[in-house]
Amino acid sequence: MSEPAVLRALLDALPAGSVLSDPDQMEGYRYDRAMTVRPGMPVAVVRAASTAEVQATLRIASRFSTPVVPRGAGTGLSGGSSAVDGCITLSTERMRAVSVDAPAMVATVQPGALNAEVKAEARRFGLWYPPDPSSFEICSIGGNLATNAGGLCCVRYGVTTDYVLGLEVVLADGRALRLGGATIKDVAGYDLKRLFVGSEGTLGVITEATLRLRPLGPLPSTIAATFADVVDCGRAVARIMATSRPAALELMDAAAIAAVERVRPMGFEAGVGSLLIGQCPVDTTEGARLAAACEECDATYVALTDDPAEGELLMGARRMAIPCVERLGTVLIEDIGVPIPRIPALVGAVAEVAERTDTMIPVIGHAGDGNFHPLVTFDPHDTSARARAEVAFDRIIEVALEMGGTITGEHGVGSLKARHLPGQLGADVLELTGTIKRALDPGGILNPGKWV
Ligand SMILES: Cc1cc2nc3c(=O)[nH]c(=O)nc-3n(C[C@H](O)[C@H](O)[C@H](O)COP(=O)(O)OP(=O)(O)OC[C@H]3O[C@@H](n4cnc5c(N)ncnc54)[C@H](O)[C@@H]3O)c2cc1C
């Protein structure tokens, strides 16, 4: 079918102003934050305002066999919401309602609400929505659900999926389904809602979520420890995680510290080999245990503070690491995960890859979860540097898999890591994945060309 016919059908079915087709207006909807993924050009961007408008869009897309790329806030780091040629980009940015049922300790949330907006609304009732990607101020709940986003406090409090009680999803043919509900326990039938959490827009469009809330967390005390060698820092992480569950445990290597220091100085001297930032509920003995573990692993400096402002200064600097490194060049962002005991070997191996490929690879990580982001950085105008960076990117993924790890711990597969998925899943699991995809989206219109 011709593109104008699809466009005309959308314009006829949806309210005025919901459909964009001017290339200039669509430009900002083509990309996410994966710097190396080249996006296509949509035929239209639909800015849906309701479940009914999502349904209408998908019915038209099915009728015309037009690809649909669901989109939240476009902060993804793997190309998951980047446009494919001729697609309808389906943005949820106008679906932003959040309502809190305080006695039930749940929030009902439309997908376009930002993570920070859900946190803020919960806070008004003395409640807390814990999952906290570093991008929490700019990313949407729909995107968080579709990638099963993690974050800094997930090491103690769990990731997005741990807070999902129910979902409303719209399938490729336009049917809206309710999966799960608002109860804490519910084992009626298959747990289909979890199939959609982390499905990266390939199985359906999430149009509402019922999320579990907790009482506001205790104030944290914060520990900062520096190490001459990143492998020692990795040893400290493994030692801490063998006996504790800190509220955050974040690692930055020397190159990542230097990148942040240039933009937002934390006051660390040049030459610090790596930094571990931990948080624990205040008034517990855990902070002292973390400090002791760091000292046993040859930390060069350890400080513990109960001052929330000092703690936020360090955590805020850590959250800025990716944008700070992006100032140094084009970044291929890894998102590998390994079992905790393998962390020292992993950070050592990444340093070796950086040296062997002569590539700058600052490393940050949600270390307590074994989830690391080696930031493979290169000058986009230097073709040889780009080729070396690609070799480094692939080798780091191989290393993670050799260690029994994963190619992605929280950012999702997207386009960036699609070619590595078969290596992790194997033929049988890939075939089952394809069977599920075909059952829910027989025409293959949802987010095609990504990973299924
Ligand atoms: C500086 C920075 C720091 C970051 N830190 C973290 C971090 O600590 N932890 C972490 O997990 N991520 C992190 N991210 C990555 C990103 O913010 C998350 O992946 C986030 O969940 C994406 O949300 P979004 O709304 O931007 O989604 P988008 O980028 O718009 O989409 C992401 C994926 O979800 C799909 N999707 C979006 N909405 C829907 C929907 N309603 N229904 C179905 N599918 C949908 C898209 O098709 C795409 O596949 C970071 C990003 C940046 C830029």
pLDDT tens for each residue of 103-128: 999 999 999 999 999 999 999 999 99
Give the mean pLDDT of 415-419: 96
**Does 54 contact ligand 1 (Cβ within 6 A)?**
no
- From 75, 162, 207, 263, mutation site for ligand 1 pocket: most ligand atoms within 8 A of C-beta: 75
- From 57, 147, 333, 372, mutation site for ligand 1 pocket: most ligand atoms within 8 A of C-beta: 147
User: How many angstroms is it from 416 CA to the middle of ligand 1?
Assistant: 14
Tell me the domains of the chain and their CATH numbers: 3-91 (3.30.43.10), 98-215 (3.30.465.10), 220-402 (3.40.462.10)
Ligand 1 atom 46: the closest Cα is on which residue?
81
Task: Give the other-Cβ count within 10 Å of 199's Cβ.
Answer: 24
pLDDT at site 330: 97
- Tell me the C-alpha distance between 81 and 208, whole Å: 18
Whether residue 3 is predicted with pLDDT greater than 70 in this model: the reply is: no
pLDDT at site 52: 98
pLDDT at site 222: 95
Question: To which residue do tokens 């986003």 refer?
Answer: 149
Whether residue 201 is predicted with pLDDT greater than 60 in this model: the reply is: yes
Our CA angle for 214, 217, 219, nearest 5°, is: 175
User: How many angstroms is it from 413 CA to the middle of ligand 1?
Assistant: 11
**Does 74 contact ligand 1 (Cβ within 6 A)?**
yes
Give the burial class of 28: count Cβ atoms within 10 A of its Cβ; 0-12 exposed, 13-18 middle, 19 or more buried: exposed
Ligand 1 atom 14: the closest Cα is on which residue?
135
Whether residue 1 is predicted with pLDDT greater than 60 in this model: the reply is: no
Percent of the chain past pLDDT 70, that is, above it, reads: 99
User: How many angstroms is it from 72 CA to the middle of ligand 1?
Assistant: 7
Give the mean pLDDT of 182-195: 95
Ligand 1 atom 18: the closest Cα is on which residue?
76
What is this structure's pTM?
0.97
**Does 337 contact ligand 1 (Cβ within 6 A)?**
no
Instruction: Note the Cα 66 to chain centre separation in Å.
Output: 27
